[in-house]
Chain A
């Protein structure tokens, strides 16, 4: 089956702190049709996020399909609050890279 990478379909793929103990991920599409296609494909769900980041479901605090923004959004609990010694990403801004290569069926 022919697939395309999420990075080729989404306008924005980003991660960022949402408060001191959460990191939130936004996957935003320019076109409603692309957004609907990715939703339909089922490649971005609580289950696939758990597999991709190798985390149990309890690490996911929120998973939202945000129609007004053509966006899929999920939020993870951090393993420790931001900026604790040893935390390598105080702003949570570089945690999205694994999403870029998610394969989306045609």
Chain B
């Protein structure tokens, strides 16, 4: 019968084997009797010639490929029976491993979502993203020799030219998000106005990606024509959230960006665009949508569609199948150079080396990957360390357990069991532990991956991408096997390295102890070292977070509410826009609970800023370049935000349009451009050269306040009055200082704004504290995770130390008994045991300290306000490890002192 049949019908196979061999023996016996031998003699002779019946049976059984599986199943059953008898050991081992396996699976699920997965479109491997590379000439504003730069966007005319070349790309399509931030377009549905995330796409987008809408149709080239009616395709999620999954959605009339539009289709649920991590609610044709801001540029400047020098469109395409990458690159280069020459007003200089690169885009655009690949790698490393510690722990447990089995192993070895067979059996037990841990770990990862995703981005943008799919499960299985080998191999080998004669005698004693114990000691020392590394790094990250959270912002962040309004989407512009915003400001100030209100072009600590080159009417004291940041703010900005004015005055209502141009600068600007001179009364221009005709007078100097990022040093900053810079303002941020917690005021504020302009929704509403917390999302995550890893590692290491000391004490009961009987103080026994534990801890610390410093240097970029060698943190880490080590060793040490000498002396 075939091998699998043999496996499943074992009892039948056994019977047949018995029958076959018996047949032989009986016949041989019969022949000998026939030849004249006596029956017993014949039987004996036949038996002798045959060989041992059981041995032959065993050899027959060993034949056959089913054997391996049979043995494995046998071992697993045996292992399970053993483990079930020892539930405490099993629980501890499985939990420790599950922690390690679960954490690594969760990280891998994230890595898969962010870095490995391809877009849910047809043949993603054929997609490429166009990128222009050139050498950047040194900019007088910044120092350096220039660098190789990338420009991932192109002009609309160039796109038109390029897509004619169908020899290289079968489909070429362009897209651009509406604005850099979230919630950039106003969508009015049946009287409700809310903001949504939009993307402008060319006609070939959906067909180029091979995405079929689940309802209705997609955007085509016809929709891109200037005269075509406005249409929109919505995402599946948006369809559910905003429209409740309305089945009559196709053909529904809505207003998008102030224009009446029709919804023509719903995208499939798994489609999210070409940029993982970015959720798009609406896709709109790349036409001239009034009121929209492709890439945040004000729509009034519609010449961007005709301007060949204005590069703002992302272009992707599908390569012609059969074209090799080299050929495609060469042909695309030709097409690009032609299109560039035809559309640019100035030909690029040859030394700039402008050329096209086709970047494979199977996984979508790079933003998410670039943002998270480093944090994920660091996380992955931390998790692997924890996994190692968990494995070391289980290995120590197994080694301690091995002691209980020495007699059993000795007997089995002496009965003729092969050492290899025993090792494989012990490994099967380890495999069983690992399988159980793997199952538990997957459950933990399901939950942990989602938490991690949220921690990484601070919001739910990654959640949709994170699944436990087949690849992740395969990874878990691989981890299970890997950890089995890691923690199971050494104990299995050590356990079977048994010297038979002393084992079988009753006196086990110290003979066995030494070899196995050294491995145990080494493991504990390693665990202690690793946990010190994790603890120190955690401490440094926690301190970084603390420093950032308590950094001097230069303004008062408490009770400050920030929100964005965008009047341009409703058709406002110029003076009417300014008037609208002024009316909102007055309305805000009138609200009870609002102590102060102001507005600004850029909100603080969102990461956004504007910068430019400036020139003053005096020579700067030192040549430090002429770059500075600038913002446009409304009256009472500094008061509302709590930024002290050190000299002169802040921006006031009298800085209106028509009045002389004024600015306020901060201390850093004054220092850089004026040195010790009082800048009040002097003039500056926002150009590389001072031009008194286009300059403004400095009327005040404000204290330094943070602008874009918490971590960045405050740069020289210029504040312009909003009324004098209306061209710079499209959407605007409002800042409200409230008496107490600002968030309960939000509904009132919304109502007040709607009273002024019914279709104007609030966007990006948050308190400044929330805004800062968003800025610190990554630091929060790192600090929390590192602390979690550190404490888990320490816990595991202390368990390992406890187990080792307990084992050691039990081994030395005999010796301790003798010493006590000879008059040693119990105290000295305690000190002795604790001293041993301390030696292990110190050894671990000796290895761990330099390792911590080295590891800290690796992640030094993440620190703020602390260095890699920070002595306080190192001391704290070392102290904690020592303390925990002492605590872990305490109970075994106490038990040692309680040894009854009489019992111990009899114990062997």
Query: Do these two chains really belong together in a complex?
Result: no
